[in-house]
Structure formats: structure tokens, C-alpha cells
Amino acid sequence: MYGVQQPTMTSTTQEHMAGQLAAIIPEAELNSWELEELLDCLNELDSRHQELVLHQISVIWPVSHSLCLAFLEAVQPALECLAADQLAAWVRGILDRYESQGLKEARRFMADLDSHFVCKLRGETGLLLSAIKGRLGLYLRGVAGRPFDLERATQPGTDTVTIFLPRSLAVFSNDQDNFLIYKLLASLQWAFVRGNLYCHEVKDERGLFAKLGPAWQADTDSEVFLDRFFQPFARPELAMAIYHFLHTVRALAFLQQRLPGLMSDSRPYFQLMARNSPPAGTAFLAAEYAELLEQLGAGQPLHLPAGSISRHCQPQRRQDDDQGIFLDTAAIYQAAAKTSPLAPAPDFQGSLTVERAHKRRQARRQEVEQQFIEALSIRILPAVATSREDDAGPETGPDQPQQPDSGANLSLRLPGDQEESRDRDQSAEHPVRHVRLDDESIELDSRLQELGREIMDDLGHLPQLYLDSAAKMAAGRSYEPGLSTSPQEGTPLTGTNLYDEWDFRRQGFRHNWCHLLEKDIQPSGGTFISTTLTEHRGVIKQLKRQFEQMRSHHRFIGRQRDGDDIDLDALTEAVADQRAGLPASERLFIRQLRDERDIAALFLVDMSSSTEGWVGKTIKESLLVMAEAMESLGDRYAIYGFSGMRRTRSEVFRVKEMSEPYGTTVQGRIAALSPKDYTRMGPPIRHFSKLLAGVEARVRLLIILTDGKPEDYDDYKGEYAIEDSRHALIEAKLLGIHPFCITVDHTAHDYISHLFGEVNYLFLDDVKKLPRRLPDIYRILTT
Amino acid sequence: MSSQKIEEHFITTEPYYREQGNELTIALAAFQHKIPLLLKGPTGSGKSRFMQYLAWKLGRPLVTVSCHDDLSTSDLVGRYLIRGGETVWLDGPLTLAVRHGGICYLDEIVEARKDTTVVIHPLADDRRELPIEKKGEILSAPDEFMLALSYNPGYQSVIKDLKPSTRQRFIALELGYPAPDIEAEIVSHEAGVSAEEAERLVRLAEMTRGLEDAGLPEGASTRLLIHAGTLMASGIPPRQACKVTISETLSDDHELVAAVDEMISSLY
Ligand SMILES: Nc1ncnc2c1ncn2[C@@H]1O[C@H](COP(=O)(O)OP(=O)(O)O)[C@@H](O)[C@H]1O
Ligand SMILES: [Mg+2]
């Protein structure tokens, strides 16, 4: 029936394909436009791939028509990434997602191809972003001092949080050179963000608009500053091009100074651009673009701005002059011949998308502000709390409330600079490492530094208000605990598995407050296990080898009662002791110690509904990879999940008991893990601390995987939930257990360092890294 | 093994030390009040150098012990040796420092086994004494004696964590990486590179720090920058100098090494 399997099929005419399709899909199931769509998609494919895809259609179509259409859309780009023999595995993955999680998940899975399959590069597609995203992301994070999301788009660009880059680059014939261009593009977009391309406000907007002319005096309803600036021009696109160009020159000059190596490496690229660009002609800005490329190609320091338009600008304007670039834009615009067409900008400049950036930035700014204030308030909390203990804190006490406007003693201290600095270029130099609060310098942890960096990039300074709010919040935390909502009052429970809960307001326990139930999970079948094992086989193999080495770690220890060899040091000492009239030690041997790891670990997985989707799935994959690796290590370990609702029903799910062997049953239970209810973290932590404490081992590790949001259906949330979870971890420590929390989320970091302590946690902002990092973390922790 | 003669532990010329904050004041106060010192900080952040400077400032001998997991109590306290048919007692470095009112600096204390480090407990609290079991002697530390430990609290093995009970006997000084301008000054001084070169190295270091979440528990230390600078000062091209001293030493993860290489080639 499957004519597609005939190896002889090479001709792929429309009719032929239609015939093939008809063989697969009963005519009645397909209307004409669907058929056309299918054929169109097939025709776009490389002829080598058509029969492969046809075969997969025969697999998918009976399952779901819409899935099949979605697949056809996704398959072409996918095949640039997948080797032909990987296609079938990919389709299995798609079907698995579809059957377990529905069409939406399946679509996401398709879109996420890069993370599931290591892309194979081919000459004709050049270098794929997906193949180098990891390296580029790390590079950019280091260079920028804060993370950016990298996403693909047709044009380079940024919305100030995400940097968009082309899906693939084939400017040069080798990967190394193409990577360089990726690096350049990403760095330039970062420089735009630093240079405030999407300026959201200027000092003295009225003053600026008064200088620009009457058209700018009119009332406008746009809430976006750049719109208010561009719209009054008769040809806004011309003004935007000028503005973007001026920024490009500025950003490139910044890169020349900051990343000189990058800029000199990129010279051949600029030269190529110069050679390939059409003769300058009369189009507007053409001469300027050409001159820019020439200077870049020659490695000359850029002067701002280039070319004939420079006479319209005022050279004495400072680079960081807020208004200068707008005045220059307007001046150049005035002088431009309004009729001439606009020259195309060099590719690397990318697109200017005011609206998108504005939206993203609005959302992000609030997020960052909140996170920063919250995190800083927790950071300064210990100081406030201590001063209260000492009874020395009336000046920050409730009688004398904080004065938000007394900003003088609050200032941002940049390293090596005691004064508050609002100078964007200068403060751009280094991480924001301290803030000053009441003349005390407060060191920022790395997350606060990153947030600070982002705020500086956005606003150019760290607003006083943020510091004040944090100080207030910190004061509120320690003095007005009653203000926060209280978990429902109630009576202690009776029965087994009852756990206390920490109430931070009364600084005491609510006894027998929570009821915990241990539950079984029914192992599930399906393809999850085999798919995951196949997808990650490279990693698993590598990990097994690594873990193997940890296991066979041999060590010689001296001063033993018996052993394979004589400990000469001990012997000499014993002889000397004896001569000195002391009893000589009998520990004179060296023994080879084989496996002295003696470690028991318990993996505790957050199964609350907030981990649904991306976290849930990858956590399962990670557990599987981890378990595979653990098998070659021999440490004892257990896996449990937890969730629940209300204090009366805290549930833990048994995936693998400490003594249980790993096998298909355990695998099946991992596969069956699914998001449940809420996250009351205290009870499971206490439960498993107790369990671990009873395990005979040198080191007992409690590894908690969570999105870091303790929250229950009742009032177990916010500060109460954080404080109880934190306390449960402290209790675990006191029991001699080493808790380690791995938090996976985009944003939950604000209170996390408070919750999980300084050393014992790791924050992962990209869940895709988890399968790799989890065993890695385990290795570092236990060697 | 360090020298048995206490005279050799005096530091006669002023070591170069650039203060990060008020660590000297605090350490001097700790000395005065006979409280032991715990230096926390990543490797290569100047802990050992600081101890040398402190010892010089106080005019006390500095006895340093680099801890490792084979270190025995005898290695610290001392042992009997046979010399020409006679047994002679030989002070270990700790005893040496206690006896002569020196500073004993146990570097990387967490590397030593716990059964070894118990001997420091009575020295660290107000008893300030060192029992020498084999000689049936209890040494009382003179006022000038000071105990100092260093420890790297970074994200690391739980097996090597310092016990809270130990920690709480000390005054803890955190020596993180110095502020950029200070660090550049140090690098320039130690490696003999220009101020601009040093600044650029510091910038590179900053790029590599704060990548914990990405799998790099520790970024480039001041020490690594000095190594890179020293190579550069002796004519090795910057990219190569940085590669061999920084990216290759920081990690074995290919992606991370590659990313750090990209940072280097962007800067140089
Ligand atoms: N504050 C400082 N002043 C002078 N030199 C420093 C300072 N910090 C670091 N160094 C330099 O860095 C090198 C490494 O420091 P070191 O004291 O050995 O680090 P640690 O003991 O913390 O591992 C020193 O040899 C010294 O050259
Ligand atoms: Mg040292």
C-alpha cells in the first residue's frame, strides 16, 4: 500500500505526489484545499526528503489531521537540522507529546526541535543559531553581565530583554567565521541596549520638543516617547533611519572601545559588506553607510557621525548627552532631500521595533523593579533584625518611620567611586556590586548584581526609590509581621505522619499542623522512556563514564591496623615513640580504600501544577538521565515527588525507595509523574529529613527540584510559606542532612537566596540545561 | 615540610598588599583580642598574601600549612624522630607557632580530614592551649599567638563543608575579588603590565564571574589574571596567554571553555 517505500521513486511531479498521498489518505478524509496545502508543503521539500516525509504522513494522518498539517509546516526547517535517519525518532516524540499532552504541547515540541536533537550542520544551510546558542548565550551573558534570551527572527534586533538573531548564517563558508558574525550581531544588539536605543524618556522632554519646532508641541496620545518624537516628522521612517544609524555608529564605537578584538576580527566581514553593497548612488544615507563600512573594514576608530551629514551635527555634543542624538536626528532630517529614496541599511544593523521594545520593557521593568526591591530587602534584612535584637534599632523602628525622601544617605556606590553616578557611560564599565544604605555599604549577590545591571541598562541609574522601598520593606518585614495574612487558624491534627509547621510571626511551631500521606504511582507505559533514552544517549554514555570514575576512586589511607603495605611514616614514628618510652601505635599499615563514598541521596521533585509543561517534562527527563548515571555509581538513592492541597493533605509520591533497584518499574513511575496540586514545601522536607536521618551513611543529601514557589491552596503563601520552607531546611541541616535545592524558573529568584541559603542552592533559568546539569551538580557535591 | 626554625618564618620585607576594605583593621583587632581568624574567599583572592602582610605588620613569624586529606595530627603537632640512635622530638608547624607566639595559618582547612583538625579546637576557644599528647604536655599559647584558617565557601562539595561549631569560634573576614580599580592596580603591580592592560584583564575576569548558574562555579581569580598578565609581559600574544591561563583552567566543559574563549577574542 505504501508506494512511498519504493526506492525507485525519484520523479516528484505534482501528479505523482498526489497519487502517493491518495494511497495514504482515504479520499473522503481530505478536502481539496487540504490536499493542496499538503502538496504545497511537500513540494517545498528537497526531493531527497519527500518520500521520507510522505511515509511519516502515513503515520501521523490517522492520529490527527491537524497534527499532520502542523507537522508538515514544521518539517521543512526541521530537516535542515535533523539527519534523515533521525526523522522517525522525532515523529515518535511528536506523537508521544500529542497523545500525552495534546496538540499544543506537540506543536511546542516541534518548535523546540533544537533542544531535542543536536542539529547536524550542512554546508548549504550555513551555521544554525540553534547549534551555537549555548556558546553564544554564555558569551553574551559574560560580556553583558546579565542574561539575554536569544531567539530567532528574520532580522537581528532586540526588545531589550530578548536578542533576535537570524536562524542561520551562511555569509562565509566556514562555521568559525559565521559564528563570529553571530557574535558581532549579538554584541551589537547588546550595545544598542546599553546605548539606550529604545530611549523611553529624556530629561526635559518639553525643552527638547520646544527646540524641535511647533509640530512637537501638539498634544499626542502616544505613551511611547520615541513615537512622540518620530511621529511629527513628515517622513517618520526617514527620521527613524537617521536615528537608528546614529545609534549604530555610537554602538559600534562603543564596541571598538569595549571589545576591540571582536571589532578587528570582524574587519573581513565589513570589507565583504562594503564590496557587496551597491554603488552608493544618491539614495539617502547611502554615502554614510558606505563610509561606515569602509571605516569599519579598515579598522579605523569611528567618528560620529560619518559622512556628509556630519556637518549638521554638533561635534561638541557629548556622547552621553541625552538629547543630543535627537537634536542631531532632527538636524540631519532637515537637511535631507525629502524626495530621495532611503538607502538600505547594512544587514547587521537589524530592525528598529519601537512598539515591541516598549511593551517588553514596560513588563520587564516592573518585574525587575519588584524583584530587585524584594531581593534587596531580604539582603538587608539581617542587619535590621540584628539591630532589633540589640535593642539598638529605634531609629529604624516603627516610631520613626523610614523617610523615603531623605535620599542623601542612600546612594549607589560603584566600585572605586564613592559618589552616586548617573553617568551612563561611566557606570556602564563595571558590575553594580554595592549599594549604600545609611552609610553602610551593602554587597549585592550575583542575582542582585544582574538585576542592578539590567536596571542601569534600562534607566541609566538605580532609582533612589528602589533603595528606599527595599529599606521600607525590610523594616516592615521585621517589625510588622502581623500585616501579612495569616494562615487559617485551626486545630492540631491527630494521626500518623504529622508534622509541625513554622510560624514566623510567632517565631514558633504550630504543632502537628500538617498531615502527610505517602502514595504510590502507577507506572505508565508509552514511549517517553525510550524516546528520552535515545535523545540523551550521548549524554548518558558520557555521564556513565564520569560516574564510573567516581566510583572506582581508589585511595590509600595510612595508619591502619592492617593493610596491603607498610606505612613507613607511621612505622618510623612508632619506632621513635617506642624509643622515647611511649607506647607505639599499632596502626602501621597502608590500606587501599575502594568505595568509601557511603552516600545516600534523596531526590525530591516538586509536582505542583506550577511546574506544568516545560518544567514537568524536563524534570522527568532529568530524573531518568540521573538514574541512568547513578546506576554506574552505586550510591544509594531514592526519588520522591511531592504536592498536595491544604495542611490536611500533603502528599508524597514514591518513585524509588532507597533500597529499591532501578528498573522498568521505576522508569515507568518516572514517566508517570505529572503535575498535581500545590506546593507546601515544609511537610515533605521534614518527612524526608526524618527518613534520611535514619539512613546509615556518611553523607546524606536531600536534593530538591522545584520552581521555587512554595504555595498552597490555603494561606500557605508569601512570606509565611517561604519562612516555613526555609525553617524546614534549617531543621534538615540540624539533623545532619545536606539539603541542596535546584530551582528552575525564569524569575523566581527574588527571595530564593533567602529561602535556600547562601550556598545550598543553584538557580537554573533554562530548564533545558537540567538533564545535563543535575548529574553534574551531584558530581560536584559529592566529590 | 616547613622549616623547623622559627627565625625563618619572619617576614622581613614588606609584602605588597593592597587593602580591599578594612580587613587589616579587623585582623589587628582580632589579634589584639586573641580571637582566631577565618578568611573566606575564592582561590586566588589574596588570602595568603594578606596573611603575609599581616604577619609583617605584626612583626610575628608566619607558619603556613597547606592542608590536604593526608595531613595527620602528627604533621601538625609534631613527632619523635630517631637521630643517631637517639629519639628527638620535633615540633610540628602548629606547635612551632604556638611555642614562639607566631601566626599559624592553615590554608584550605576543609581539605584536611576532620579527625586531624580537632586539635585546633582548644586553641581556637579561650583556653588557647595545645595538648601535645605524646609528650604529655599542654602548651599554653602566648598572647602573640594567632590562629588563622582559610576556606573557600563557594559552591562546592558538601563533604568538605566547614562545621558550624568550628566556624563560630572565629572572626570571619571575607576576601572576595577586589573592586575593579583595586584589582587592576594589583594585577598591574604583580604582573608588570600597564594599567590599561590590567584593566582589560579585570574586565575579562568580570565576564567570567557570575556564571555559576551556567556551570562555572568560580570565575577567573586575581591570581589567574596575574598569570595571564605575566605571560603577556613576557611577550606571549594576549589571546594565547589568556587561553592557557584562563579559559583552559576554568572548566573542562567544552561549551564554557569556548564561550570564555569568545570573550577573550572579543577583548583582544
Ligand atoms: N589585595 C591584594 N594585594 C596584593 N596582591 C594581591 C591581592 N590580592 C591578590 N593578590 C595577588 O594574587 C595572588 C594570589 O593571591 P593569594 O594570596 O595566593 O590567594 P589565595 O590565598 O586567596 O588563594 C597573590 O600572589 C598576589 O600576587
Ligand atoms: Mg592561598
> What cell numbers appear for B32 in the block?
589584639
Residue A114 pLDDT > 60, yes or no?
no
**Contacting residues of A for B155, CB less than 8 Å apart:** 759, 762, 780
End-to-end CA distance of chain A: 58
* Phi, psi angle pair for B92, to nearest 5°: -80, 170
Question: What was the pLDDT predicted at A123?
Answer: 37
Residue A756 pLDDT > 80, yes or no?
no
pTM recorded for the entire structure: 0.69
Evaluated on CA atoms B3, B4, B8, B11, the torsion sign reads positive
pLDDT in tens, A667-677: 999 988 888 88
Q: How far is A413 from chain B (nearest CA, A)?
A: 11
Angle (deg, nearest 10), helices A236-258 and A286-298: 10
Residue A64 pLDDT > 90, yes or no?
no
Confidence of residue B138 (pLDDT cuts 50, 70, 90): very high
Question: What was the pLDDT predicted at A233?
Answer: 92
Cα torsion at B121, B124, B125, B129 (round to 10°)?
A: 80
Please name every residue paired with B105 in a beta bridge, in sequence order, or none if there are none: B64, B148
Question: What was the pLDDT predicted at B63?
Answer: 97
Average pLDDT of chain B, as a whole number: 90
pLDDT in tens, B169-190: 899 998 989 999 999 999 999 9
- B229 C-beta closer than 6 A to ligand 1: no
Q: How many inter-chain contacts (A to B, CB under 8 Å) are there?
A: 132
3-state secondary structure of A460: coil
Report how far residue A356's alpha carbon sits from residue A340's, in angstroms, rounded to the nearest whole number: 28
- For chain A, how are helix, strand and coil distributed in percent, rounded to 5? 55, 15, 35
- Check CB contact under 8 Å for B262 and A260: no
Among residues A409, A414, A451, the alpha carbon closest in space to that of A434 is found at: A414
Q: Which residue bears the cell 579598522?
A: A299
pLDDT in tens, A412-422: 333 333 333 34
Report how far residue A700's alpha carbon sits from residue A597's, in angstroms, rounded to the nearest whole number: 11
Question: Averaged over A509-535, what is the pLDDT?
Answer: 86
Distance between Cα B21 and ligand 1 center (Å): 15
3-state secondary structure of B145: coil
Neighbours of A438 (CB within 10 A): 12
pLDDT in tens, B202-246: 999 999 997 877 778 789 999 999 999 999 999 999 999 999 999
Residue A504 pLDDT > 90, yes or no?
no
**Contacting residues of A for B214, CB less than 8 Å apart:** 138, 141, 769
Confidence of residue A182 (pLDDT cuts 50, 70, 90): very high
Domains located in chain A, CATH noted = 11-122 (no CATH), 126-194 (no CATH), 201-352 (no CATH), 357-389+406-474 (no CATH), 555-594 (no CATH), 599-782 (3.40.50.410)
Question: What was the pLDDT predicted at B2?
Answer: 57
Residue A346 pLDDT > 50, yes or no?
yes
Residue A317 pLDDT > 80, yes or no?
no
Q: How far is A279 from chain B (nearest CA, A)?
A: 31
* Phi, psi angle pair for B106, to nearest 5°: -95, 100
Residue B155 pLDDT > 90, yes or no?
no
Q: Which residue has the higher pLDDT, A36 or A160?
A: A160
Least confident of A94-108, A133-147, B102-116: A94-108
Neighbours of A77 (CB within 10 A): 19
Residue B200 pLDDT > 80, yes or no?
yes
Per domain, the residue ranges of chain B are 6-174, 180-267
β-pairing, A508-520 vs A589-593, is unpaired
- Closest-CA residue, ligand 1 atom 12, reads B223
* Phi, psi angle pair for A343, to nearest 5°: -75, 145
Residue B157 pLDDT > 60, yes or no?
yes
Confidence of residue A400 (pLDDT cuts 50, 70, 90): very low
Question: What was the pLDDT predicted at A228?
Answer: 92
Distance between Cα B10 and ligand 1 center (Å): 19
Question: Averaged over A268-289, what is the pLDDT?
Answer: 85
pLDDT in tens, A438-495: 777 788 877 788 888 888 887 878 888 888 888 877 776 554 333 333 444 456 666 6
Question: Averaged over A34-54, what is the pLDDT?
Answer: 79
Q: Which residue bears the cell 499532520?
A: A68
B6-174 in CATH: which number? 3.40.50.300
Among residues A474, A473, A484, A456, the alpha carbon closest in space to that of A368 is found at: A456
Question: What was the pLDDT predicted at A48?
Answer: 77
